[in-house]
Chain A
């Protein structure tokens, strides 16, 4: 038996979740190339200043929604 046939402990303990592979635009926002920012469809407010938007996530939480940057 090869030394690497058994499943690695870090993979045994890892969480598994489904991914679509397609990134979704933030709902209710459109991207403005000139401003380099997502703007609210109605108020035209910047995403970061927009009331009621989804809060930004920590990197680990982002992974589960496919937003992690490290896998690029």
Chain B
């Protein structure tokens, strides 16, 4: 079995480490044989190991003289008692979660109850009932009896509805109500419907009377194929099933493809689907050895068609098979025959469109005009392909209208491609703005895309991934582009909604940065707050620094943000006097929720936070107690103290110094004489110098140019000591 998607990063890691069991190891190995992307990741890991070994080998030897130092230390009588690594008594045990049966049972019960409470229908949807169709091999025109036995948890509905996705051909299908299912005494539901005329394949689901899905057979649906009189499924039934399951239900698709070849070996379509399966399974390169078989079959089918006579459809199928086989000569040969039989056959139109696509020497406008004629030929089945080609040509045109027109046509016929089309439009500078609007529209409608019947028809996982991919693209590229173009405000909502659905701290900061620069600080704060309140996310220094700063301003999770701020401090995330790049310009003290009060209440005991606080909201006075303590301890030595600060804090400073009964000599540079003379910038700087001019204590912003000031003060101290003892507190 192959991976339908790439192996996870974790699994690739485990593969490199050799931690996978043999079965999984084989699966990853097989995937790597055909996936360049994953192979590159693995190769990166292996290269990493090799380069690491070269670095590791270069670590210098222990410094010279260390052994003598060790002897000297021991000689001086010093002994260091170290814990042994296997000293169980001294070593803390790894934190292991102990789970006992009663607690597990209790948890299961609570989860069950909550599921029922939150959305009983969604919960019930997970339950899978049993649906039996009689006759089991229906023929077109038969009456179909349905017996449905619901899942264990499911009860209470008197009647249910049976809805079907009815295929008339691989490309012609729609959903329709089929039958009411009535509850019988045996606890099962029964219903009847007539097989729709000319339908070949039906996929069934059960819904309630309001149309809400109740049972989808775990998203596999119940499938019913029309059978012939010989008891085999009809060719069109199998063909429709194969097309419906392609890229979504791999195993079922494979079995269908094989059934087609077994039951209908004379149909080119059977072999084409079988070849598609092989190519998808082994990759194009690895399929090559099998192609001799397919080529032999192609020659047989060709001979058969010529000997029996062929119609347009057979010729078209042979063209498609030759194309899948990459046999250009055979393809041209049968294309000419197709043109001769039916020049406006769907396949003929598509190949004409492909020729137009390849005619790159012609101006794009002319090619689009030719394609428009094909489009107007009104052959619905292949309009999707023509629209796709039109979009590709339009992307090269210097006309912003054409790409949008063809994009809409294409998406109308292939909604699954909406996201990739949006992205392609954004990539094109000429259609970037239209593309962004298109993408926003797609995202708005993305919820409806995954409504029934889409979940059963497309891989939901893949769809969600596509949405995430586009969101990722939007949040980074669109955010920055729109900012540059100064029409960001129109798109803040998009970024905001994107932020609700992503889980990467780096993306948080990127979006928040854009939002903050656009002036929407409230939402920027809320986005960043998630970086600290979400336990899943790593609490890296950058994110938490910015996030906590902003969370203090406006957080949806106020108490959690504070708790995380404390945790971040305990993890030594914060540094004193580090400005918060995103929080600058925000005034915490003016916030209506009283952040400064709460902050003090929770954290004023902590030195780091005092500094952080003082920087963030410019309450420099917050670090005065430190200053006072140091100065107080030194005053009996006759030490001079210098304070460079802002005059508006003079009263507070007076109060604090009085409260601490500090009466030492001070130089208060409230007029910024020193600061201006020495171009001090940033936060106020505090330092104490003793009578010898030695700096005993300093607290400053890292950006402040304090060294000249310190030198100056030292000079003053040596020259005229009175400069340092000008006054006490004003």
A and B: interacting chains: no
